[in-house]
């Protein structure tokens, strides 16, 4: 029997839905997943970055409703501390929160120039300067985290909420054929071969919805 309901939008296009779903699975929370159709006007606005607010992913659990990936992450970490969504050490927990928070509020150029689209590939995609600065910053974060933790995930052997937050970026690196330094490339491949990511991607490939603006040829 499911403990909760997780509402998401597109598996193919929605990076925030992916983050919320990963977090629930990592926490071992049994969820019924409800997918809103891409034809819904508010969902299209979110996916096309035309909405100032993001109401999915949304988790309804034990009489509580919480929306937004980072809010879901903190709720799950608080209620299920044994799930390992945060590292064990205090300094590392603070670092993990900072890294996750930077993804929550930043990298706007990258998101706009390279929307998540698991079904597409764009070999030789030209990266403009604004997005390149975001990519360089993400590579720096990955290098710093892996150098400290030893990997293969950002904070060690097990994925944390930071990996859930950065997983959609790894799909963008693949979709848009982004050349990466060795550590970032290795981390990208670790995330893309993660069993939870493989499960999500398989479902995304079978999803019927298409959004023309996000499926255009660049």
Q: Is 70 helix (H, G, I), strand (E, B) or coil?
A: helix
* Mean pLDDT, 10 residues at a time, the chain of 218 residues: 88 94 97 80 52 75 93 96 95 97 93 93 92 97 98 98 98 98 98 98 87 49
Output helix, strand, coil percentages for the chain, rounded to the nearest 5: 55, 10, 40
Using the structure block, give the residue that is written with the tokens 């903190």.
74
DSSP letter for each residue of 25-50: HHTT--EEEEEPPTTSHHHHHHHTT-
* CATH number for domain 4-83, candidates 3.40.50.300, 1.10.357.10, 3.40.30.10, 3.20.20.70: 3.40.30.10
Closest CA to 27 of 77, 63, 96: 77
Q: Is 207 helix (H, G, I), strand (E, B) or coil?
A: coil
pLDDT at 133: 96
Q: How do the domains of the chain map onto residue ranges?
A: 4-83, 90-200
Using the structure block, give the residue that is written with the tokens 């706007």.
108
Question: Is it true that 4-83 and 90-200 share their CATH fold?
Answer: no
pLDDT at 52: 47
Positive or negative, the CA dihedral 173, 176, 177, 180 is: negative
pLDDT at 38: 59
Task: Decide: 183 and 142 in contact? Cβ < 8 Å.
Answer: yes
pTM of the model: 0.91
pLDDT at 37: 72
pLDDT at 206: 92
CATH number of the structural domain 90-200? 1.20.1050.10
Closest CA to 170 of 150, 149, 152, 148: 152
pLDDT at 177: 97
pLDDT at 166: 98
Q: Where are the beta strands (DSSP E) in the chain?
A: 4-8, 31-35, 58-61, 64-67
**Residue 66: how many other CB atoms lie within 10 Å:** 16
């Amino acid at each position: 029997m499911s403990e909760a309901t997780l509402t998401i939008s597109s598996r193919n296009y929605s990076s925030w839905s992916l983050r919320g779903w990963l977090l629930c699975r990592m926490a071992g929370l049994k969820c019924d997943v409800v997918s809103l159709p891409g034809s819904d006007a508010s969902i299209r606005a979110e996916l096309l970055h035309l909405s100032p607010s993001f109401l999915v992913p949304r988790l309804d659990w034990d009489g509580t409703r919480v929306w937004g990936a980072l809010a879901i992450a903190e709720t799950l970490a608080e209620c299920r501390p044994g799930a390992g969504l945060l590292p064990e050490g205090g300094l590392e927990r603070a670092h993990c929160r900072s890294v996750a928070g930077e993804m929550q509020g930043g990298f706007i150029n990258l998101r706009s120039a390279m929307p998540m689209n698991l079904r597409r590939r764009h070999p030789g995609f030209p990266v403009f300067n604004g997005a390149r600065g975001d990519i360089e910053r993400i590579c720096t974060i990955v290098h710093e985290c892996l150098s400290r933790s030893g990997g293969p995930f950002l904070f060690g052997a097990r994925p944390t909420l930071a990996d859930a937050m950065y997983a959609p970026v790894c799909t963008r690196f693949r979709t848009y054929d982004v050349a990466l330094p060795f550590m970032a490339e290795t981390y990208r491949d670790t995330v893309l071969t993660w069993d939870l990511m493989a499960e999500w991607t398989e479902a995304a490939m079978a999803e019927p919805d298409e959004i023309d603006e996000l499926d255009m040829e660049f």
